[in-house]
Structure 1
Amino acid sequence: MIAIGAIGFYGLTMPVTVPASALPNHTSVIDNGKVMFIAGGCAECHAKPIGKCDDLDIEDETVLVGGRCLNTDVGTFYVPNISPDAETGIGNWTTLDFVSAMKRGVAPGGVHLYPSFPYTSYQRMTYADLIDLKAYLDTLPAVRNETPAHTLRFPYNIRRGLGLFQRLYVDGKTFAPDPAVSDEVNRGAYLVRGPGHCGECHSPRNAFGGIIADEAFAGAKNPDGKGTIPNITPSADGIGDWSEEDIVYLLETGSTPDFDVIGDTMAPVQENMEKLSAKDREAIAAFLKTLPSRPNAVQKSKTNADDEDDQS
């Protein structure tokens, strides 16, 4: 029975990669790759923090040597080097390798990647955008830097088991526009659900670490245990009394309609949104207003409510 179970586990956790035939004949557009880089917040995780590994401030957004740490209740994740360095970064990765990591959560050699790297959202990106993003990353400085291995508790330290998670939550499908809504709303949906990966923080998760679909964007516990991440659905608990213009203004300036300012982990996200085009910020706002109106997915204590105010 043990042998049968081991064989079954091995089969169920086999890595799935993107076939070469899936890549389109696309000439990379580096400027668009930079837009995807900004929308995806790549620097906020992969650039070296100025102080301790969990500090939010980074040294240089173009030097993606890794080193940031994410402290969670399952252990500490260390963000890897994704500079074009051939030995310690992704300089030896092909475009197909990169696309497989983004769409399937599998690195070269069939290595399962932890979903602290939000490929569950990145999988919705178009192949063209991913090719452009890889081309842009290849223009950045190649810097040798070894990053620490993750320190996770059992059973999360068994990387092979991620194949089970991926069977449940990774299908590699590209975002499909909704023909019933405007091009603007579809653009916003793509940015939010794909490169922007907003649902990864703003949605609660189940025991397997997957997003609870019918509570998506309704707020969540902060992964590092400090307070909560706010509800961004158009409900009374969320941003129901915000206009699209209010949302755009927040993304551009960091100021809320009640004259507060965002802080903590949302601050660098807003700084990225500020760099996008006005049309993209307007598209994000338009899409958020179409989300299902949902009550808060997590209960907040007074302490958590105060913490949330610092992040919203």
Structure 2
Amino acid sequence: MEIAVLIPAYQPDSVLISLVQALHRENFRLIVTDDGSGPAYADIFSALLPYAEVLTCPENRGKGRALKCALRHLAADPQGCRAFITADADGQHTVTDILRVREALLSGSRFVLTTRTLRGKSVPLRSRVGNGLSRFFFSLAAGCFLEDNQSGLRGFSTDCLPWLTEIGGEKYDYEMNVLLYAARQELPITQLPIETVYLDGNQSSHFDPLRDTLRIYRRMLDTARGSVLAWLLHVAAILLLSLTLGWHFFLFSIPLCGAGSAALSYCFNRFLVFRRVRYACGPRMLFGAAVRTSLRLLFCCILHPLGLPLFAAWLIGSVLTVPLEYAYVRLTGPWWSSYALRRS
């Protein structure tokens, strides 16, 4: 069996049994993690034993912990698997789409991210709003655009196992952290559209709209802490130059501070946050930093005649740059994705 399917499950119903049986017929190796569902669900997991390896967590710790439990099990006993797929237990990932992910992996993709069409009345409002916000903030944090960064149906080559088992995140925030680490490694991501399935308005999901959303953004902020620290030092440098030099050398000082901030961000990320993985600083990151600095300088040139202090002009320019930077990341996303795939 060249491909394994990893399924974390918490208090599942009979849909999981049907899914596992169908995948077993397609010759997948199946690893199901019982994420502390309790004795009431023992019969369901017992019914999976003829078809899958069932791992048991003594207590419910979250989807991220359950996934890492299965990943470590696969790393310790790969049984010849060259790739693996993660899927949900609630029936929202169809066997047809799982087979399509397998085809992409067997064709040479190292990371397959499935994307859903999150529009229309069939998609719950909380899913549309939540995914839209996470797309926006992820794009700014990672410098790359992904159409859907919350889909749990993903495929990886087994050479990703070392870093996937080590990164932080215990619940749904783990899946976002995977994308942040993949982006920082400039790992080529193959985006694969799939069917959008929401059963009973997504009532089967254990996602807590408030707590899990806060965890995701907290994890995003924690993983981006190197960039945040560099940005704070950037602000301090601009404020200092504003108080000492004013507008006299702004055509020099703003690009200099931008370059210094980019260098600090690289050092903090390379040697602090992402020290355990191959941290890449390719053309996409360098070009993104140049675009960001150029936009801020442009706004300062526009605001200069209004008589604003340099720091105030730079701060306003930085705020106005945010939506333009998002637009840049979104528009250039397909080009950079194809560039990364060509390089790999």
TM-score by length of 1: 0.26
TM-score by length of 2: 0.24
Larger of the two Rg values belongs to structure: 2
Higher helix fraction (1 or 2) = 2
